[in-house]
Structure 1
């Protein structure tokens, strides 16, 4: 097919394309606004390393221990999602949930090759997400101090109350649904055209038989009838 033939196919079935695209966008909007329950996210950042006492000797030691603390970040990433830390946070906050539930709400992300560690908590309650994130940092600090007998966790940025849901994102979801609906509708249009083997024009006859059309019989409509 040539380009103008593709355009003619789309033009012929443009209404089907519009309907499918609008339905997909509408379904996505309804689901995002009324069906999917919003989830809130709260982050807290901690630094893995001893607190600097300020003297030259301690500063030199901390500088020499940077690589060690960077490696410890991976250890503390696992520790913050452990059952022990989760149970400690549940007990301190008086939460009515199991450790496995809380562990499923937590995600941890080291910031590259640094001593920084970001703890993220997702919850359907914005205030709960903030409180759990802050308590997890405190619980990590307490549990690690009990296990390693040294306080290597320093809280940098406390978690704040989220002002908007992290998920769903209605506008983004509707834009994606609109694009997918458009692609699917175009595919359906071309599929219907491919499955339609009826002859509709002299050009179809020339393609089918490989011979030119020398004449056509017009349809005569009797106006009196």
Structure 2
């Protein structure tokens, strides 16, 4: 098939393509907005910063101390996810209404490129609650790690402000609609070509010649009902307007 034939075929079944795309986009839009629940992410940062005192009593830090701190970060990440920290958070902040397992599944701890900085993150349906959760965990980490490790080397760099109003992190409805449009368009075009492939009726003189190897003697044009009704109305109007001359005797 040539490009003109493809375009003619698509134009012929344009109604089918538009119908599939419209139904798909309408369904995606409805389900996306009906089931949409905004998610907000809050985070706090802590730094593991152990220093040593020199002979004059001033605190110093060398490369070996930095490497030790980086190694301690991995240890602290594991400790934070244990009941030694999560249990204290649950007991100290009952207003969060979370169990140890729920709290552990909702927080994520990371450090960027092996640095001394730890980031505690969580997501929730409201930013205020997400901020309260990470701030509670950070405060417990700051007080309990020194007790567990017998060294005071954890400092808070920042806390989450519950009064902020950041945008949700899952605002992807427009992206879903765009994907729905693309997929439904490809599906509709595929259905159009499939229907044409399965259609074995003879439509043109060329089809008859190729299949039956016979010449076409005549063709009967298709007359649409709308055209027939219009022609009938025209004929009736013409008959009604005909005037007959009186017969003279």
> Shorter-chain TM-score category?
0.7 to 0.9
TM-score by length of 2: 0.72
Q: Confirm or deny that 1:97 pairs with 2:136.
A: no
SS in 2 for 1:217: coil
Partners of 2:65 and 2:113 in 1: CA distance = 17
Deviation track 1:33-91 (CA, whole Å, cap 9, x = no partner) reads: 232322221122222333799x9963333x33223333333333333333432222222
> Against the structure 1 CA distance between its residues 184 and 155, is the aligned structure 2 distance closer, same or farther, given a 3 Å change threshold?
farther
List aligned pairs for 1:16-165, cutoff 5 A.
16-50=16-50, 58-61=59-62, 63-94=63-94, 95-160=96-161, 161-165=164-168
Number of aligned residue pairs: give it.
222
Bigger Rg, which one:
2
Distance 1:215 1:120, change over 3 A: same
- SS in structure 2 at match of 1:21: helix
Q: TM-score, normalised by structure 1?
A: 0.79
- Conserved 8 A contact 2:77-2:109: yes
- Going from structure 1 to structure 2, the CA distance change for 1:139 and 1:186 (only over 3 Å counts) comes to farther
Contact persistence 1:130–1:162 (CA under 8 A) = no
Contact persistence 2:51–2:65 (CA under 8 A): no
Q: Secondary structure at the match of 1:112?
A: helix
The one-character-per-residue Cα deviations of 1:182-224 (angstroms, maximum 9, x if unpaired) are 2333333333333333333345556x6496x754632146868
Q: 1:203, 1:82 → 2: CA distance? A: 79
Structure 2 unaligned blocks of 5 or more:
233-249
Q: 5+ unaligned residues in a row in structure 1: which ranges? A: none
Deviation for aligned residue 1:127: 1.0
Q: CA deviation at 1:128?
A: 0.7
Separation in 2, partners of 1:127, 1:50: 32
1:177 aligns with 2:180: yes
Relative to 1, partners in 2 of residues 1:118 and 1:221: Cα closer, same or farther, differing over 3 Å? closer
C-alpha deviations, 1:95-116, integer Å up to 9, x for none? 2222111222212232123222
